Structure 1
Amino acid sequence: MTLMAGNILEGTVVNITSFGAFVEIEGKTGLVHISEVADSFVKDIRQHLNEQDKVRVKVISIDDNGKISLSIKQANVQKKSVKPMEIDWSSETKKGGPNSGNFEDIMSRFLKDSEERMQDVKKNQDFKSKNGRRSF
């Protein structure tokens, strides 16, 4: 198998540094940056990997100079089937919550609440303008 971005391969950790791990795949060595080791924050890479460990890696990229970027966390991502959440809208309206009723009722309540809030804001602004602002 030729090395191409997107391939998932088995490799061997050959060296560990403070910034990542070098992994040998198909006779070539690539770097797994410390940020690509695990989904959680990795402070010390040696808590996750040891030299000679066999790991699954995903080839992220191969640049023009032949440097290979690898990822362990992307290789281990399991595709989850996402099932849409089912909502029983009829039970929501029966509860008598803020969204119960038809659209006109909901809109009427919204406009009433909005108008009351605007009146409060205007009263507060009028009060401030009549009394002047304090300087500290």
Structure 2
Amino acid sequence: MITMESESFQQTRIIYILYIIGAFFWPVMIVGVILAYIEKGKVDESFIRNHLLKQIRTFWTCFFCVFLGGVVLGIFMLIVFFNVAMDQTAGVVIGSVSLAILFMYLYALGLLAYVLVSSIRGLSKLDAGEAVF
């Protein structure tokens, strides 16, 4: 039986808080996922394990999306540099770079929202004693 005073419960709560902070300062999220992996190996309760798996999945989803966004942005920047090399007008190049910057900010904002919503929702379900999935 899991209680709100148990060490696993408190550790899971701390990991959610680290994820919320990590949405703005990513190294903190890395600490959170390391703690989630460590705690997952120690916990027997399926309720807590469920939350830890959700935290780990959130990290890897975010990591994959950052990697994918970086690849897409890199390809886009290569296209821009090829346009510069082919002597395109400055307006086309500036427009392309502006579009890339806009894409980058919107993508980052979406990832920030994903991590925050996922973490806050998980934390509220943890406090209510419910599983996340």
TM-score by length of 1: 0.26
Answer 1 or 2: which has greater strand percent: 1
By relative contact order (CA 8 Å, sep 6+), the higher-ranking structure is 2
